[in-house]
Amino acid sequence: MTAPLHILVVDDDERIRTMLRRYLVDEGFTVATAADGEELRGLIDREKVDLVLLDLMLPGEDGLSVARYLRQKQPRLPIIMLTGKGDLIDRVAGLEAGADDYVAKPFHLREVLARIRTVLRRAQPAEDAPAPAATPAAAQGGTVLAFSGWRLDLLKRELRREDGQPVALTSGEYDLLQALARSPNRVLNRDQLMDLVKGREWAATDRAIDTQIVRLRKKIERDPRNPQLIKTVRGAGYIFAATVARS
């Protein structure tokens, strides 16, 4: 029998922690809670966590700093940021710090659950994915996309440099890169990218895609300020300017 997925809720408001814990336990998850970054660090060191719900406005060390810590310690760990102000700047800052998605307070519990399920589905490990014959990658002629010395494995959800060294990507960065690499030399606008990356169920903003692009360029471009792979087409969107080979 598969063990329940383990969610860590980090918020300094005890009422919110209790509300989320009770609701998510009723939905079949195992839930731990922490009031600040120090408690989070202790739990992360002791327990395997499948997703973190992280409040932006924490006492002492703020949520952005905690998110960066989590990204360094566990690059693939899904993070959903809870933002209290509903301000676009806060949401973008959360994405830049490494969050996979965000929920603005006050929130509906069903919305939180939907975001959790969406992010966990995107972060699904390769061994739990459908058989290769049924995957879109296999149907299109290959499960590894090679471009400019890079190799993107669509089954392992893994990016490697020319020397074979892996590059840690968040689930959002991986999804965006594979969407671009599957449509090389084709201009994709932000709406198209949001559909390809997250699906219609994700109520995102144009700026969220732009932020992910900036983060991705820092990892794959020789000069992120003068990108040669992911180019901006002014007024239209982005283009993946590379020859992509499937294997």
Same domain, yes or no, for 102 and 213?
Answer: no
Q: What's the one-letter identity of residue 98?
A: G
Asked whether residue 1 is assigned to any structural domain, the reply reads no
Same domain, yes or no, for 145 and 235?
Answer: yes
The residue among 122, 143, 168 that closes a domain is 122
Same domain, yes or no, for 111 and 168?
Answer: no
Per-residue confidence (pLDDT) for residue 207, from 0 to 100: 63
Name the stretches of the chain with pLDDT < 50.
Answer: 126-141, 200-205
Same domain, yes or no, for 87 and 145?
Answer: no
Same domain, yes or no, for 43 and 87?
Answer: yes
Q: Is 86 left (phi over 0), alpha (psi -120 to 50) or beta?
A: left
Asked whether residue 98 is assigned to any structural domain, the reply reads yes
The residue among 96, 122, 148 that closes a domain is 122
The alpha carbon of 78 is separated from its chain's Cα centroid by a whole number of angstroms, namely 6
CB 90, CB 56: distance < 8 Å = yes
Kindly tell me the sign of the dihedral angle through the C-alpha atoms of 136, 142, 144, 150: negative
Range of the domain at 242: 127-246
Same domain, yes or no, for 139 and 198?
Answer: yes
Per-residue confidence (pLDDT) for residue 25, from 0 to 100: 94
Using one digit for the tens of pLDDT, what is the confidence trace for 205-224? 456 788 888 889 999 999 99
Same domain, yes or no, for 182 and 233?
Answer: yes
Q: The CATH number of the domain where 240 resides is what?
A: 1.10.10.10
Per-residue confidence (pLDDT) for residue 31, from 0 to 100: 95
Using one digit for the tens of pLDDT, what is the confidence trace for 173-201? 888 999 999 989 998 888 788 777 765 34
Q: The CATH number of the domain where 115 resides is what?
A: 3.40.50.2300
| Domains contained in the chain, number | 2
